[in-house]
A and B are shown apart, each in its own frame.
Chain A
């Protein structure tokens, strides 16, 4: 007799819903929010990698986000270059900034590094306000071209599928890194730096790598945002946005490959949801209170709870799929 696997069916239904969502929801604002959520998920996935996997912390992620956004905006709007080039430059410039910022991480412990990253985020913010000839300062940056394919200018649906594909690719790459020797080295460093060094692992290199990756993802997210919004002002690039990004990663679950996505979606929709349910005065308070409670009482984030429902039990985060399949082959062979 075949046993119906409800969990699998639920999972397939959930995935199908994600795919057809733009056709189910006619509310354009919610679709726009979904796009923002996807962008946040890309950025927060980078933070999950940086913090959860590599044990580093960044409270200046909005700085990279801003560099990506303004670079792409400038290159496409002022220099008239194609959008794809703008996005690539946005990523590269954030990557460069990430490399520079990773230098202090050699000498500094994680929590000192968090101070340096706050300073970085603030410096970028001050520069946005004051380099008016490039950024438009507090008046904003207008007229950023939308993405298009041929003659089709993207609407929210077009953005939705583009961002969804990018997010899936990002998660896939992070997943592969996690399951490779690179990920293993990173977990080892996170556990015990000295023991890892003695095993031939260059901890500096790993830290630079993690920083560079998370900075590039923030840059990517920023440049996508610039074209989605069509207009940039300094507000989304403050210290509090940086904190918000960290909150997404933590609420989703730092040890979880989907943590960034779960956190990104929840913390993009929760405040808006509360706002339209008669909480318009208190939605921000409720949101940040929720985050505090999750951090204090659910150390592994909401992601792990969802995973537990599906798996029944949690595995060690580091048991690699590759190795487990090989193990099964081997055990099967000896029987």
Chain B
């Protein structure tokens, strides 16, 4: 194998992996806030991709407005999940199990909605991130342009999230709540607000990931399926479910491993690799691998 191939796989692994990281980030935000895994958030990626497709390709709005609208609607979806699902279940004394089942069924519901309104066949994603034939070439390596858009968007998003979490009052409240809800409440943090924010942030990042993944996976049901969800969970679990930066690093690592396993083993078993990583981490390192920022014993 030549250096060229290694480089090529590395770059595409990092690009796709960083979107897995975003999905993992969605898991982490919610876990920090309410210690729940929200399966309905798997749909966020699919929903935003179909919304973008509708606004941009079918209605003909501009790129920026389509992007903002689809991500905004997905953020509201997060808020809806809190008030229509999480709160009623908690009020009735329901626990994790009920939340898991309810959100899972919402995941199935959305798939059925998409099938009814858009059909089961994938839609082409508009070439807003360059055409499939657009390549960047340097040093004998040619890489699809879309990867660089992914890098760009993820970098901007991470910078924004870093600023939000570290420098703003809202972010500090979020982190305080994540560490200890009671103490945060005593310190005057509005836990109600941070919970809503966590729900919205978690669907938003997954929604953005959906739009970034659409050029690769097409606008398809696959974006709302178990395999995308599992990749996000794997990334989040590597971060011990609590470290936002760890989730992104975990996602990137997963992307790289996946790409190289395609190269060495077979592309058909690509998904199996991420499942095995998830299972292995859960069994051998249940506290995660990339955990830096928050809790320390």
Residues of chain B with a CB closer than 8 A to A111's CB? 36-37, 96, 100
Closest to A281 in B: B116
Residues of chain B with a CB closer than 8 A to A295's CB? 98, 101-102, 105
Please encode chain A, from 94 to 137, with 1 for each CB lying within 8 Å of some chain B CB and 0 for all others.
00000000011001101110111011111100100110000000
Residues of chain B with a CB closer than 8 A to A115's CB? 37, 230, 233, 237, 278, 282
Q: How far is the CA of A111 from the CA of B109 in the complex (A)?
A: 21
A299 touches which of B98, B106, B116, B269 (Cβ 8 Å) = B98
Residues of chain A with a CB closer than 8 A to B268's CB? 126, 129-130
Please encode chain B, from 84 to 108, with 1 for each CB lying within 8 Å of some chain A CB and 0 for all others.
1100110011101110111011111
A110 touches B105 (CB 8 A): no
With A122-B226, A284-B115 in contact, is A240–B100 under 8 Å at CB?
no
Q: Which of under 10, 10 to 19, 20 to 34, or 35 or more describes the interface residues of A?
A: 35 or more
Q: Which of under 10, 10 to 19, 20 to 34, or 35 or more describes the interface residues of B?
A: 35 or more
Known: A112-B282, A119-B276, A247-B101. 16 other contacts (CB 8 A): A57-B100, A104-B283, A107-B282, A108-B282, A108-B286, A115-B37, A115-B230, A115-B233, A118-B230, A120-B275, A284-B112, A288-B105, A288-B106, A295-B98, A296-B102, A297-B92
Residues of chain B with a CB closer than 8 A to A292's CB? 85, 102, 105-106, 109
Q: How far is the CA of A59 from the CA of B108 in the complex (A)?
A: 13
A297 touches B37 (CB 8 A): no
B97 touches A126 (CB 8 A): no
Residues of chain B with a CB closer than 8 A to A118's CB? 226, 229-230, 233
Residues of chain A with a CB closer than 8 A to B286's CB? 107-108, 112
Q: How far is the CA of A118 from the CA of B36 in the complex (A)?
A: 16
Tally of A-B residue pairs with Cβ under 8 A?
Answer: 122
A299 touches B272 (CB 8 A): no
Q: Which are the 8 A-B pairs with shortest beta-carbon distances?
A: A239-B226, A119-B275, A284-B112, A288-B109, A295-B102, A291-B105, A292-B105, A288-B108
Interface residues of B (CB under 8 A from A): 36-37, 84-85, 88-89, 92-94, 96-98, 100-102, 104-109, 111-113, 115-116, 225-227, 229-230, 233, 237, 268-269, 271-272, 275-276, 278-279, 282-283, 286
A107 touches which of B85, B102, B108, B283 (Cβ 8 Å) = B283
B225 touches A296 (CB 8 A): no
Residues of chain A with a CB closer than 8 A to B272's CB? 122-123, 126
A116 touches B278 (CB 8 A): yes
Task: Kindly state whether residue A51 has any CB partner on chain B within 8 Å.
Answer: yes
Residues of chain A with a CB closer than 8 A to B113's CB? 285
Residues of chain A with a CB closer than 8 A to B275's CB? 119-120, 122-123
Q: How far is the CA of A115 from the CA of B116 in the complex (A)?
A: 28
Least CB distance, B253 to chain A, in whole angstroms: 17
Residues of chain B with a CB closer than 8 A to A129's CB? 268
